[in-house]
Amino acid sequence: MKGKIYMGALFFVLLSVMAIMFIQKEDHSEIDQEKRMDAIAENQEKIDKMLESMTLEEKVGQLMMIGFKGTEAGREINELIEKNHIGGVIYFDRNMKSPKQVAMLSNSLQQTAKQSSLSLPLMVAVDQEGGDIIRMRESVSPLPAQQDLGQHASAEDMYKVAKLNGEELSSMGIHINFAPVLDLSETDKRSVGKDPKKVYRYGKKTIQGLNDASVTGALKHFPGNGRSEVDPHLETSSVEANQLDLENSDIYPFKRIIREMDDQSFFVMVTHIKYPAYDQEKPASLSKVIIEDLLRGKLNYGGLVITDDLEMGAVNKYFTYEEMGMEAILAGADILLVCHEYAHELEVYEGLREAVKAGKVPMERIDQSVKRVLTYKLHALNRTRVEPDQAEKVVKSPESIKYLESLK
C-alpha cells in the first residue's frame, strides 16, 4: 500500500514539473515570437526608410547580379559596384583558383560594397550543383551529380551532401548556390529523376542542407524544363504540354517546396524556355503570366525571382539587352542575371534605367523588387567577412572526401 502511495505521489510530482516546464516553454515561445515580430517590424521600418532615400541608379543596380573576369577585383567590377551599385556577383572558374583566394576575393568585393553609397552587402553566388557542374573542380570536394544521388543515395544523404557543399561555399564568402535543379528527366545528369514526388523530397533536403550551412538555395529552372531537348544556352524551345499536366508533374516539386518552406530560404530561377499553355509569345523569364500569375499568384511565392543568364541564346537572339532587362522586370522578376560581358551588363543596366525614366517601367514595380532584395539582404547576409585560412581547412577536408567516397 505504501509503495502505491509513493508511486502516486511521484507521478503527481512529475506531472507538476512537466506542467511547469510546459508553461515556461509556452512563455519562452511567446517571448521569442514577440522578439521575432519586433525584429521584423524594425527591419521593415529600416527598409522603408532606405527605399525612400535611394536614387534610381541605386535601385536599378540592386536588381542586377553579374559575372566578371579575373581572380582579383579589377577596375570593371569595382566600378560596377561603386558607380552602378550592382547588388550581386556570380563566380565562375575564371574567378576561382583556390579556397583561400576565393575567400580573399569575396572579402575584397564586400569591402568595396561597404564603402559605396549604400553600404549594402553583395549577394555572392555560384552554380555548384555537383557532377559536371562544379566550379574550381580540383580544389573542392567531388560532389556527385544529382542523377547519381537520385539513383543511389537516400534523401538524408542528399541533405548531408548539400550541407557539406554549403559549408565549403560559406567558408569562401559565397551565400547563394543556384541549386537544386528540379527539372524532371531520366537522362539529364543534373536531374534527380522523373518522379515529381522524389524530386520534391530530394530538392527540399538540398535546400535544408544549404540553409543549415548559411547558404541560400535556388529552385530551377521554373516552371521546369526537363521535357525540352534543346539547350537554352544555344537556342529557344517550347514545352508542349497543357497546364494540368505541367502542374501535376513539372511544377509539382516547385509547388510543394514553396508551400512548405520559408520564402527567404531560397530563390526561384526562371528558365528562358517557352510554355505556350501559359504564354504563346514570351519565354518564361519574360512572361508576366508565368512569373506574376502562376508563380506569385497561384503558387503564392513571395521571395526573390531571378532570371537565368540573359546572355543565353534562347533570349539574346530575339531581344536586345535593353529590352530583356525591362521585359523581365515588367514580368515580375526581381534580379537580372548577366554572367559574362561587361558591355552587356551595362546595356541591361542603362536599358532598365532609361525605361523607368521614360515611364515604360513604373517606379512602383522597381520598388517592389528592391524591397525584396533589401529584405533578403537584411535577413540573410549578416556575416560577409570570412577567414581565408579557415576556408583552406574547410574546403575538401579529409572527412568530406571520406564521406563522399562512402556514397559510391
User: For position 21, what pLDDT does the model report?
Assistant: 45
Distance, CA of 179 to CA of 127 (rounded, Å)? 7
Instruction: Give the chain's radius of gyration (CA, Å).
Output: 23
pLDDT digits (tens, 9 = 90+) for 194-215: 999 999 999 999 999 999 999 9
Between these two residues, 348 and 29, which has the higher pLDDT value?
348
Interval 229-247 mean pLDDT: 77
Q: What is the pTM of this model?
A: 0.89
Distance, CA of 374 to CA of 366 (rounded, Å)? 12
- Mean confidence (pLDDT) of the chain: 90
Q: How far is CA 405 from CA 84, 105, 137, 190, 401, in A?
A: 45, 30, 16, 19, 6
Q: Which of 7-11, 54-58, 175-179, 253-257 has the lowest average pLDDT?
A: 7-11
The cell 560532389 sits on which residue?
Answer: 143
Q: Which of 259-273, 282-296, 306-320, 367-381 has the lowest average pLDDT?
A: 306-320
Query: Who contacts 45 (Cβ-Cβ below 8 Å, separation ≥6)?
Result: none
Strands 266-270 and 305-307: parallel
Quick check: 23 pLDDT over 60?
no
Distance, CA of 401 to CA of 403 (rounded, Å)? 5
User: For position 225, what pLDDT does the model report?
Assistant: 84
Nearest to 200 by CA among 165, 169, 224: 224
pLDDT digits (tens, 9 = 90+) for 102-159: 999 999 999 999 999 899 999 999 999 999 999 999 999 999 999 999 999 999 999 9
Dihedral sign (CA 308, 313, 318, 322): positive
Give alpha helix (H) positions in 63-118: 75-82, 99-115
